[in-house]
Amino acid sequence: MITASVFVVVAVQGCGSPGDGPHIPSRQPASQVVSPDWDNQQGWIGKQRDGEFLLFVQRFDRADAKFREAVKLAEEFGAGDARVARSLTGLGRAQAAHNDWQSALIQYERALQIKRKSYGNDHSDVADLLTDLAVAKLNLNQVKESRTALDEAKAIWKHIHATTIPETMFVDAMVKDKEGNLEAEDTFKRATDMYLSQIDLHKYPQPTVSLREARDCGERYCAWLDTHGKADQAKEYRQKLQPVKEWLDLLGQS
C-alpha cells in the first residue's frame, strides 16, 4: 500500500473584534496545498493502476507494457523505493501469465529484495512474493528452491494468521506433487475446499479472480485424482466446480 503525505497550508488569522464573523482562510493554489511528493507520483500511480486493471481483465500484453512504464517512473524515486517493488511484482505476474517464467523470476527476486529492506522478513507482502517466486521456480523445474521459498512463505503466514491461506496451500500442493509426495492429495483437497468455501455463488458480480483460482486449483486436484486412479472423487469435485465454471463462462472469463 502506498501512503502519500499531503500537507495542507492553513492561514492562521488573528482574532477580530467582538461581533466580527469567522475568518475563513483563502483557498491556496494547488502547488501550495499538495506536497511535491504527492504531485510527482501521480504519473506512476496512473500507470500502476492501469497495469493492475489490465492484469485483472487478463489483457496481459497491455499490462506488461503499463507495468514497464510504471517501473521506469517508480525508479525516479530511488531504486530501492517500495513503489518499484509493487510495479516489478505486477510486471512479473504479467510475464508469468505468458509462461515467461525466467523473466518473471527476475522481477520477483528484485521486488523481494526491496520488500525485505522496506518491511522486514516477516511481512505479508514478503510472503506473497515468496509464493510467486515458488511458482516461478517450480515452473523452471527448480523444485528444491521452490520448496525453500514456499516454506518461508508458509512460516510467515503462520506467524501472521496462524494458518496458511489457500493460494499458498495450492502452491504447496503443486510442489508436493512435483516432489512425488502423496500428501499432495490432501493439500489439493484442503485448498480447493477453502477456495470454494470463500465463494458465495448467489452474489453478483462474482469475484472473478477467486473464481479462477478455485477452478484452477480444483482442476489440478481432479487431474491428480485421475492420475492416481480415483475417478469417483474426481467426478465429485468436477460437479462442485461446475457452478464456478458456469459463472466464469457467464462473465466471459477463460
Neighbours of 39 (CB within 10 A): 13
pLDDT digits (tens, 9 = 90+) for 213-253: 999 999 999 999 999 999 999 999 999 999 999 988 887 76
Instruction: Look at 15 and 123; give whichever has higher pLDDT.
Output: 123
Residue where a domain stops, chosen among 152, 178, 210: 152
CA dist 144 and 129 (Å) reads: 17
Tens digit of each residue's pLDDT (9 = 90 or more) over 94-121: 999 999 999 999 999 999 999 999 999 9
As a whole-number percent, the residues of the chain with pLDDT over 90 amount to 69
d(CA 88, CA 100): 14
CA distance 124 to 74: 21
Residue type, 216: D
Overall number of domains in the chain: 2
Q: Domain for residue 27, yes or no?
A: no
Where does 12-92 show beta strands of DSSP type E? none
Q: Compute the average pLDDT of residues 139-147.
A: 98
63 within 8 A of 55, measured Cβ to Cβ? yes
Range of the domain at 198: 164-254
| 244 inside domain | yes
- Cis check for the bond before 205: say yes or no (omega within 30 of 0): yes
Q: Could you tell me if residue 181 is inside a domain? A: yes
Q: Are residues 180 and 226 in the same domain?
A: yes
